[in-house]
């Protein structure tokens, strides 16, 4: 059984802890409708999981990545979204 986060997961969490961008309006002057649709879908998913702490972790002219936390069975999880992938993992302190 896994007892610690991988290097990749630790790097993602560090980006999350360092981010102070809480929505697309902080990242983009004029984000596309597609970016807003993606963000809305992710925020809805977060609400369904009773998640907290949505943040943008990175962005450029075409895509953005974001993440949030939630608890399940007493364990804290992190969900990381990119344009093409979604990663959900337990946070080991």
Residue 45: pLDDT band with limits 50, 70, 90: very high
Question: What is the model's pTM?
Answer: 0.94
| Distance set, CA 77 to CA 9, 37, 68 (Å) | 11, 24, 8
* Dihedral sign computed on CA atoms, order 70, 35, 20, 25: negative
> Can you tell me the mean pLDDT for 1-28?
94
What is the reported pLDDT for 16? 98
pLDDT, one tens digit per residue, over 1-11 is: 778 999 999 99
Which is nearest to 78 in space by CA: 21, 6, 1? Answer: 6
Whole-angstrom distance, CA of residue 31 vs CA of residue 50: 26
Q: Report domain extents, the chain.
A: 7-90
């Amino acid at each position: 059984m896994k007892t610690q986060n991988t290097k990749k997961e630790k790097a993602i969490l560090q980006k999350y802890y360092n981010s102070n961008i809480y929505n697309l309006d902080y990242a983009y002057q004029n984000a596309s409708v597609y970016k807003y649709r993606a963000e809305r879908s992710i925020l809805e998913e977060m609400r369904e999981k009773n998640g907290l702490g949505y943040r943008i972790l990175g962005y450029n002219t075409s895509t953005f990545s974001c993440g949030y936390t939630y608890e399940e069975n007493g364990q804290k999880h992190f969900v990381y979204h990119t344009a093409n992938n979604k990663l959900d993992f337990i946070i080991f302190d």
